[in-house]
Structure 1
Amino acid sequence: MIRRAIILRPFIEQLVLKHRQQWEQDNRSKRTGNLRKSAREPRICLEENQLTTNDWDVLDHLAKLLGFYEDAVKTLEGDGQQRKRKGGWVGSYGNVWEVIQGFEFLLEVLEDYKQLASEIPDAEHFRININLGWEKLNKYYSRLDETPIYYTALALHPAFRWGYFENEWKD
């Protein structure tokens, strides 16, 4: 929805403008040319209900952030079976060893967006949601310790083995 709204931004702004013009035209006094005092401005025309340029910037960043989540989910969903994919390559999705990498990827993305949030104007709401998302993701990431299958699968994978843990968990 956010990506669609960003694409349709000029048309949304034009729709609000046309709605405001129509409302003003319908509520002008024919005698004085001023707006009637009894006229109530529709909610779509109220200033507090309109998206500012800063709001659109935040939506743009949010759409990019959610794109990372979408990519991670699409990578992790599947049955782990190798088969021929689009483009002719053979591969699988949804393998157990990809779960830890998916969590770490998303946590890194959220860390990057924490830094980026300071550059976004009026981004208090955005910053709060980044922190809440990080907390929720970290909660589930820490639960991986309860199920050692994820670590075992990564350690037994021929491409990763213990080198993955040594590189990622140097602390």
Structure 2
Amino acid sequence: MIERAIELADQIDYYCSKEKDLKLDSLSEQDWAELEKICNFLKSFTDATKAAEGHAHAIDRTLPIMDFLLSKFEAAQIEYADDAFMAPCIDAGWAKLDAYYTLTERSSAYVGAIVLSPHRKWHYFDTAWEEHPEWIESNKTAVEDLWKSRYAPVAKSAESSAQSLVEKPLAKNSCLAWEDEHEDSELPTLFDEYQNYISAPRIKVKDVRRWWLEDTQQTLYPNLSKMALDLLSIPAMSAEPERLFSDTKITLQDRRNRLGIDIIEAIECIKSWSKTHNLAWVDDAELVLDTAIIGEGEQKGTSNIIPDITSNR
């Protein structure tokens, strides 16, 4: 709105000068100059908003975007240090954003999502928080605690799982038995997926969530991949979830006021999956069979005639 007003500044001034009731609301040259400063500064917020919107962006973008905006505030504090109008505005904005930044400490999900992005890991914080090493150490502890408390397998099951990878079946001949006896008995028995992932080199990927769903990661990090997908499924903004929620009003019409929550969930899932081409449609033979089953259920008066399509999600 401000940008459009600046483009039409001459027309707005002319209109205000012709209307007697608007003369007191006319903007001076100084007012227009201050509006232009505000507009130029807020362009960074427009870019930040666009960088976070949509279903493709997850919570791993939150802290980098806030770091980007904080850098803009800090640069503006230097640029407008002697500006009586802009200086207090910049300071107030920085204080508010810093307060929100501090609130992210309540959850390790923000940092964990970045760490579980294979192109970033802890390298991002080593650079962004270079002047605050204590932040890095405290967050490393928090993320590792999240991993150990909710996702890491218990020591007993992890040990047996690791041993199953290195144990060989008992040899039936003396030569193989001799080899088994002389194998290294000090092989590690506990495989820590998180530490192995952190120590691996960073790699550039186009889609982080798709990378974690690949067979390689699912096999190498069966538990860590669950943590990654849980964190990276949190959207960076609430706009997309709100849009999906509002979309249900199209489904819930007056003639469908008796739909159960399970059916509504199934319908919304199908709608979402079909839009992203992530739905495997059944062939004609299966469709005919399902239709016959549903028709038979309707004749018998059974209520549960639609299969639970969300059970395998």
State if a TM-score over 0.5 links the two structures: yes
Residue 43 of structure 1 deviates from its aligned partner by 4.5
Between the aligned partners of 1:17 and 1:43, the Cα distance in structure 2 is 9
Which amino acid is 1:160 matched to? Answer: R
- For residues 99-136 of structure 1, the C-alpha deviation after alignment (integer angstroms, 9 at most, x for no partner) is 110000011111112222236xxx43332221111111
- Tell whether the 8 Å contact from 2:2 to 2:39 is kept in structure 1 after alignment: yes
Which amino acid is 2:44 matched to? Answer: F
* 1:95 correspondence with 2:58: yes
* 1:110 correspondence with 2:70: no
Tell me the SS of whatever aligns to 1:6.
helix
Match of 1:51 in 2: 27
Tell me the SS of whatever aligns to 2:112.
helix
The runs of 4+ residues in structure 1 deviating greater than 6 Å are none
Between the aligned partners of 2:40 and 2:115, the Cα distance in structure 1 is 32
* 1:148 correspondence with 2:108: yes
- For residues 15-62 of structure 1, the C-alpha deviation after alignment (integer angstroms, 9 at most, x for no partner) is 23334xxxxxxxxxxxxxxxxxxxxxx45223xx33222221211121
* 1:17 correspondence with 2:22: no
TM-score w.r.t. the length of structure 2 is: 0.39
Of the two structures, which has the highest relative contact order with CA contacts closer than 8 Å and spacing of 6 or more?
A: 2
Number of aligned residues = 131
Between the aligned partners of 1:126 and 1:148, the Cα distance in structure 2 is 35
Tell me the SS of whatever aligns to 1:157.
coil
Residue 138 of structure 1 deviates from its aligned partner by 0.6
Residue 167 of structure 1 deviates from its aligned partner by 1.0
* CA RMSD after TM alignment: 1.7
Which amino acid is 2:84 matched to? Answer: E
Question: Within 5 A, what are the aligned runs for 1:56-71?
Answer: 56-71=32-47
* 1:137 correspondence with 2:113: no
Unpaired runs of 5+ residues, structure 1, are 20-41, 81-93
* 1:72 correspondence with 2:48: yes
Which amino acid is 1:105 matched to? Answer: F
Give the fraction of aligned pairs with identical amino acids, expressed as a percent: 29
Between the aligned partners of 1:147 and 1:124, the Cα distance in structure 2 is 38
* 1:3 correspondence with 2:7: no
TM-score w.r.t. the length of structure 1 is: 0.69
Match of 2:123 in 1: 163
Higher Rg of the two aligned structures = 2
Unpaired runs of 5+ residues, structure 2, are 132-313
